[in-house]
Amino acid sequence: MANISGVGNNFLDSILPTYGKPRVKTPIWNESQHMFITDQYTSPAGNTYYLGVRISDRFVTILHIGLYHNWTYINEVEVYAFDEHERTLIGKTTIDQYYNENIVRSTTEELLQNYIEGQMKLNGSSIVHEQLKSQVKELVDKSYFSLLEDENTARRLEAVKPLLLQNK
């Protein structure tokens, strides 16, 4: 293998192994979608499925995605809150349609907003609907960060790695 300055052969071989050798089991970062790709598999019918995972400092969004022939399909969106170092499901919905990032974003916002509104009612609190909607949009926007441009990449990756590698 050709040498890449600053990258050892063992590391490169572990993340880009030659055909027939295993790849190290670390989360895959997809910069274009601003999410991790995990639990990838191909069905006997030849369709590929994976989980897309976006993480902010307050919640985790898990997207169930399928690649069929030449299109991408979104099956489900799940939103988890943190409970110390674990994740707790706070919303889930089935979409079952062609992948559209605007729909994924609005679905995530809706699930998060419904959760917050429910918790507020349980606690006897209230907020102006538009104000909450704006705050939820800001929270979701923060989950679309660029891992490659983030100064704290190593710290953040180490913190979220257990969540990404948890069994579903």
Cβ-contact 24, 12 below 8 angstroms: no
For 59-86, the DSSP string reads EEEEEEEEEETTEEEEEEEEEEEEETTE
Domain locations in the chain as residue ranges: 26-165
Q: How far apart are CA 165 and CA 39, in angstroms?
A: 9
pTM of the model: 0.82
Q: How confident is the model at residue 158 (pLDDT cuts 50, 70, 90)?
A: low
Lookup result for tokens 């590698």: 165
pLDDT tens per residue across span 11-58:
777 777 777 777 777 778 888 888 988 888 999 999 999 999 888 888
Strand-by-strand arrangement of the 86-98 sheet: 28-30, 35-42, 48-55, 59-68, 71-83, 86-98
